[in-house]
């Protein structure tokens, strides 16, 4: 898949043109201005806003999915700013916005209207697209916003399948420069809401759209976060693709049942769930996020919004562990070991080192493992070495001399054991 960023014409770090100021409004005001003219001036001033570079993970996730040319579905309560965010996104990216309220259209508005020609028996009956699709095709680029998706009845949702996946409306195919974003309210807060059908839900990247009070206050004051497409590093593209493929394939090889998991409840089927299609979408998102240097929070939103929370969490864990150092490399040179900062990842590394010694017990490897545990105590939370140290001590053979470095760990293990014993006594007393 090739993304043509020139089709989107992003305006990085661009600010919208300021509307006329008060002096300009007075100069342009006709001498016989009515109260409605003055009211229009006031509305113009109220609409005067600008943007600023401000970190917003959910907006970053949205723009990254748009860059990856994947349909996005924003879920949020009414009045939370989904439509306003899409309007601002289109303006920031200099894309014409086409809004289609799915619930007020007929299925034929998306599948096409049959228009008989001069000789239907020879020419057939083409499916004519609606005017908004024709305008998008003529423009060649744009942001198609499918609003109120959760109020669309099942027949309309079925007609949307081909539009969302194949970008076809009747006999017309939308150009590559058109991106699709939809918005929906949860069924409980939607007007005559429906659950999304599983085939339609599985075609979207689902993002939970919430409000940030600070963003709301700044926006009402006239300054909203700026939406820009991610800056992809051209030199990182091959490595990003390789990492994305390796990540997804590693998980599905170890957990083949995750390849396709259709949820059992209607509500969950209307959200993100794992299928070969959504795994392919996830792989694309990982590649784009890696090439753009996106942080873990943004990547987590995208992955969980594509394959669901459970499979998404397992994939994120797999990706974390793929970057962990090889236990054999650490045992070969403990003094140069670079242990992870995160506690859970450091615990995995230390457990892996002890497991490596267990598989191939040797005096030098045993000593090297103790040196690594001492290094872990000096550079991180001491309690993380308690279990590995206890397990490593049990691997000692009679002819192995206890290294001097173990003295640094003795206090840590002793304190941890006393804490565990105290906790056990408290629990036993509470149970009486």
| Final residue in a domain of this structure, among 169, 197, 225 | 225
Q: What is the largest CA-CA distance in the chain?
A: 105
Average pLDDT taken over every residue of the chain: 83
**What pLDDT is recorded for position 80?**
80
List the end-to-end C-alpha distance of the chain, in Å, as a whole number: 65
- Average pLDDT of 269-290? 95
For residue 52, is pLDDT > 90?
no
Strand partners, 100: 146
- Give the model confidence (pLDDT) of 95-130 as tens digits: 899 999 988 888 888 887 777 766 666 666 777 888
| Final residue in a domain of this structure, among 204, 225, 246 | 225
* pTM exceeding 0.95: no
**What letters, b where the CB count within 10 A reaches 16 and e where it falls short, cover 307-338?**
bbeebbebbbebbeeeeeeebeebbeebeebe
Q: Using CA atoms of 102, 108, 111, 116 in order, give the dihedral in degrees to the nearest 10.
A: -160
- Spatial neighbors of 90 by CB under 8 A, at least 6 apart, are 96, 97, 143, 145
**What pLDDT is recorded for position 1?**
42
- Give the model confidence (pLDDT) of 301-348 as tens digits: 999 999 999 999 999 988 888 778 888 889 998 888 888 888 888 888
Cβ atoms of 126 and 45 closer than 8 Å: no
Pair 212, 284 in one domain: no
Kindly tell me the burial class for residue 290, based on how many C-beta atoms sit within 10 Å of its own C-beta (0-12, 13-18, 19 or more): buried
Query: Length of the chain in residues, anyone?
Result: 432
Residue 34: pLDDT band with limits 50, 70, 90: confident
Residue 432: pLDDT band with limits 50, 70, 90: low
Smallest CA-to-CA distance from 183 within 102, 108, 94, 278 is with: 102
Angle at CA of residue 301, ends 155 and 149, nearest 5°:
20
Angle at CA of residue 103, ends 98 and 106, nearest 5°:
90
For residue 270, is pLDDT > 60?
yes
Q: Provide the number of structural domains found in the chain.
A: 3
Region of residue 242 (left: phi > 0; alpha: psi -120 to 50; beta: else): alpha
Kindly tell me the burial class for residue 265, based on how many C-beta atoms sit within 10 Å of its own C-beta (0-12, 13-18, 19 or more): exposed
Domain annotation covers residue 53: yes
Domain annotation covers residue 243: yes
Residue 426: pLDDT band with limits 50, 70, 90: very low
Specify the range with the lowest mean pLDDT, choosing from 23-32, 201-210, 397-406: 23-32
For residue 92, is pLDDT > 60?
yes
Domain annotation covers residue 400: yes
Pair 333, 423 in one domain: yes
Pair 279, 212 in one domain: no
Smallest CA-to-CA distance from 207 within 418, 107, 20, 57 is with: 57
**What pLDDT is recorded for position 62?**
94
Pair 312, 244 in one domain: yes
Specify the range with the lowest mean pLDDT, choosing from 37-46, 115-124, 420-429: 420-429
**What pLDDT is recorded for position 16?**
42
Pair 354, 238 in one domain: no
- Give the model confidence (pLDDT) of 126-178 as tens digits: 778 888 999 999 999 999 999 888 888 888 999 899 899 889 988 889 999 99
Annotate 127-152 with DSSP letters as a single string.
EEPPHHHHHHHHH-EEEEEEE-GGGS
**What pLDDT is recorded for position 387?**
86
Angle of helix 363-379 relative to helix 407-431, nearest 10 degrees? 70
* C-beta neighbour count of 59 within 10 angstroms: 24
Structure tokens at 97: 């916005």
Pair 279, 216 in one domain: no
Pair 217, 241 in one domain: no
**Structural domain containing residue 394:** 327-431
């Amino acid at each position: 898949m090739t993304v043509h960023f020139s089709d989107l014409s992003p305006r990085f770090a661009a600010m919208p043109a300021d509307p006329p100021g008060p002096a300009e409004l007075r100069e342009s005001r006709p001498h016989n201005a009515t109260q409605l003219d003055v009211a229009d001036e006031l509305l113009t001033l109220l609409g005067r806003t600008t943007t600023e570079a401000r970190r917003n993970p959910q907006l970053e996730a949205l723009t990254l999915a748009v860059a990856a040319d994947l349909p996005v579905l924003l879920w949020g309560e009414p009045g939370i700013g989904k439509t306003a965010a899409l309007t601002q996104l289109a303006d920031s990216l200099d894309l014409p916005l086409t809004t289609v309220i799915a619930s007020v259209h007929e299925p034929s508005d998306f599948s096409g209207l049959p228009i008989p020609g001069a000789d239907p028996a020879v020419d057939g009956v083409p499916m004519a697209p609606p005017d908004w699709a024709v305008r998008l095709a003529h423009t060649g680029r744009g942001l198609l916003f499918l609003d109120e998706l959760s109020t669309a009845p099942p027949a309309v949702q079925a007609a949307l399948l081909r539009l969302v996946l194949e970008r076809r409306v009747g006999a017309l195919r939308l150009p590559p420069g058109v991106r699709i974003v939809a918005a929906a309210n949860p069924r409980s807060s939607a007007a005559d809401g429906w659950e999304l059908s599983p085939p339609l839900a599985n075609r979207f990247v689902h993002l939970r759209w919430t409000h940030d009070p600070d963003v709301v206050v700044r926006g009402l004051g006239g300054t909203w976060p700026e939406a820009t497409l991610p800056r992809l590093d051209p030199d990182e593209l091959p490595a990003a693709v390789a990492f994305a493929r390796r990540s997804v394939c590693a998980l599905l090889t170890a957990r083949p049942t995750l390849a396709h998991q259709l949820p059992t409840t209607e509500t969950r089927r209307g959200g993100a769930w794992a299928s070969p299609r959504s795994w392919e979408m996830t792989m694309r998102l990982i590649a784009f996020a890696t090439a753009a240097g996106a942080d873990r929070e943004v990547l987590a939103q995208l992955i969980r919004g594509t394959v669901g929370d459970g499979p998404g969490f397992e994939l994120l864990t797999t990706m974390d562990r793929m970057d962990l150092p090889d236990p054999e490399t650490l045992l070969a040179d403990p003094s140069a070991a670079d242990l992870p900062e995160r506690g859970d990842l450091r615990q995995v590394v230390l457990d892996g080192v002890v497991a490596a010694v267990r598989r191939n017990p040797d005096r030098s490897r045993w000593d090297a493992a103790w040196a690594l545990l001492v290094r872990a105590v000096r550079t991180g939370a001491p309690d993380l070495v308690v279990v590995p140290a206890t397990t490593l001590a049990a691997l000692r053979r009679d002819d192995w001399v206890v290294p001097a470095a173990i003295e640094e760990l003795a206090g840590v293990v002793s304190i941890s054991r006393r804490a565990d014993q105290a906790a056990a006594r408290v629990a036993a007393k509470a149970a009486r």
